[in-house]
Amino acid sequence: MDVTAIKNALADTSQLPALQASQVTLMTNLIDFFQENQLTYFVTGGTVLGAKYYQGFIPYDDDIDMAMPRQDFERFLNMVRNQKFELKNLDQTYRVQHFSMDDQFKYTIARVENLNYHVIDIMDLHNQAAHPAIDIAPIDGTPNSRWVRKLFFNKLYVLRGLLTIAYSDTINPIRRQTLRHRLQTIIAKTISLFFHLNPTKIKQRIEHNLSQYDMADSDYSGTYMGTYRDREMLPSNIWGNGSRGLFEGVSVNMPEYVNDYVMQLYGGFRYYTDEELLKDRHYIIKEKLES
C-alpha cells in the first residue's frame, strides 16, 4: 500500500470500535495476570490521557500503553520465557514479543499482540502482516547527580541514534516530523549506506545502561525509549504508588500524580480536533480473522 492509499484508508473508522473492544479485553486480562502475580504496572502516555479526560480511548485512538518498574518487567519476561504466562479468561489468540526472544523485533519494550486481527501498521513501509498490540515499557531510574544524569542521557541519545540508523529503512515518511527529524532521517539513511550496525547488540547495550538505576533509588525515572526520550524521565514521586482511573469501564493504575504527569510529559492537555486525532491513528484494520 502506497502513502496515498494509507492516508485514504485512515479515514475509514468503521471497524475501530471492534478493535478497541478487543484491546480492552486484552488489557483486562493482562491486569488480572499482573495482580495475580503481584506485578506492578501503570498505564502511560495516551492511555493516561484517555482515562483522565475521556474515561476510555481518545477518539480514533487504537492502542494501549503500559509500563512496569524494571524488576517487574524482567519478572514478566521470565514468566513468558518459562511458559508461565497465561491469560486464563481470554479466548483470543495472543503472543508476547521482546527482542531477547526474537531478534527481528525492533523495539526494547515488550509487546502483547492480539493475533485475531490483521492490521496495517502505518509505521511499517513494507506492509508486512501486523497485529494490534499493547506495549509494555520498563520504567528505569537515572543517576541522581545532575551532571552525571546529563552524561547518561547523552550516551543513551547516541545509542538510540545508532538504533535509528540500523533501522533507517523502516522510517515512515507519512508520520508528522519536524525539520530537525527530517534532517536526522536523511543523515541516518546516508550513514546506513556505509556502515552495518547490529541492532540486537545496540538494544542490549541500551538495556544494560538503563537497568543500572532502580527507580526506587532515583530522583528521576521513566521510559526513556518512548517518543519523548529524556522528557519521559519524570520526578519519581509522580509515579508513586499509583492512582485509580477508569478506562472503558476497567479500573486501571495510573501514575499517582496524574496532573503532574500530564504537565511534565505533554505540557498540559487540550482537546484536539477530529482531524488532529485521526492523524494519530497507528493502525488500519485490514481484516478480522474468522474465529
In 3D space, the residue among 215, 44, 236 whose CA is nearest the CA of residue 137 turns out to be 44
Q: For residues 162 and 119, which has the higher predicted lDDT (pLDDT)?
A: 162
Q: Which residue has the higher pLDDT, 80 or 177?
A: 80
Residue 282 to residues 17, 121, 133, 181, 268: CA-CA distances in angstroms?
14, 6, 10, 19, 22
According to the per-residue pLDDT averaged within each range, which of 111-125, 182-196, 244-258 is highest?
Answer: 244-258
Q: Of 107, 136, 82, whose CA–CA distance to 200 is shortest?
A: 107
pTM beyond 0.75: the answer is yes
Give the chain's end-to-end CA distance (angstroms, integer).
26
Dist CA 34 CA 24 (whole Å): 15
- Which has the higher per-residue pLDDT, 280 or 85? 85
- Which pLDDT score, from 0 to 100, does residue 289 have? 44
Residues shown for the chain: 291
Whether residue 195 is predicted with pLDDT greater than 80 in this model: the reply is no
Residue 126 clears pLDDT 70, i.e. is over it? no
Question: What is the per-residue pLDDT for 60?
Answer: 79
Separation between Cα atoms, residue 107 and residue 193, nearest integer Å: 22
Q: Tens digits of per-residue pLDDT, 41-69?
A: 999 999 999 999 999 998 878 789 999 99
The residues that bridge with 244 in the sheet, in sequence order, are 253
Domain map (residue ranges) of the chain: 3-288
Q: Are strands 250-254 and 283-288 parallel, antiparallel or unpaired?
A: unpaired
pLDDT in tens, 30-42: 999 999 999 999 9
d(CA 109, CA 129): 19
Mean per-residue pLDDT, 231-254: 96
- Does residue 70 contact residue 214 with C-beta atoms inside 8 Å? yes
More reliable by pLDDT, 255 or 172: 255
Confidence of residue 109 (pLDDT cuts 50, 70, 90): very high
Per the prediction, the chain carries an average pLDDT of 83
